A and B are shown apart, each in its own frame.
Chain A
Amino acid sequence: MRRLLYAALGLALAVPAWAATRTNPAADLKAFQSYFHKKFPQVAPNDFVNGPYAMDASMRAQWNDIMQFPPFQFSIDNGKALFNAAFPDGHHYADCFANKGIGITQNYPQFDAKTGKIVTLELAINHCRAEHGQPPLDMSAGPMADIEAYMTSTSDGKIINVKIPNDPRALADYAAGEQYFYSRRGQLNFSCASCHVQGAGDHLRSDVLAPALGMTASFPIYRSTWGSTGTLVRRFIECNSQVRAVPSKPDSDAYSNLAYFLAYMNNGLPVAGPGERP
Chain B
Amino acid sequence: MRRLMVMTAMLSMLGTAAYADATKTSADAALKAADARAALADKAGAQWTSTVALLKDAHKAEAAGDFATAQSKAMKADAMAKLSITEAHEQASLWQASVIH
Mark A residues whose CB is within 8 Å of B. 28, 31-32, 35, 178-179, 182-187, 189, 191, 193, 197-198, 241, 244-246, 248, 254
Contacts and interface: CB of A to CB of B under 8 A. Distances in A.
Nearest to B8: A187
B96 A189 contact: no
A193 B47 CA distance: 19
A226 B99 CA distance: 31
A245 B49 contact: yes
Interface in B44-97: 45-52, 80, 84, 87-88, 91-92, 94-96
B100 A31 contact: yes
Given A245-B48, A246-B52, A248-B45, A185 B88 contact: yes
Contacts of A187: 8, 48-51, 80, 84
A193 B88 contact: no
Given A183-B91, A184-B87, A193 B48 contact: no
Contacts, number: 56
B97 to A, nearest CB: 8
B91 A185 contact: yes
Consensus secondary structure, chain B interface:
helix
Given A185-B88, A187-B8, A246 B42 contact: yes
A241 B49 CA distance: 7
Given A32-B100, A246-B42, A182 B49 contact: no
14 contacts: A31-B101, A35-B100, A182-B99, A183-B95, A185-B88, A185-B91, A186-B48, A186-B49, A187-B49, A187-B80, A187-B84, A244-B50, A246-B42, A246-B48
B51 to A, nearest CB: 8
Interface residues of B, number: 25
Contacts of B91: 183-185
Given A189-B1, A248-B45, 8 more contacts: A35-B100, A182-B95, A182-B96, A182-B98, A244-B49, A244-B50, A245-B46, A245-B47
Nearest to B96: A182
A250 to B, nearest CB: 15
B4 interface: yes
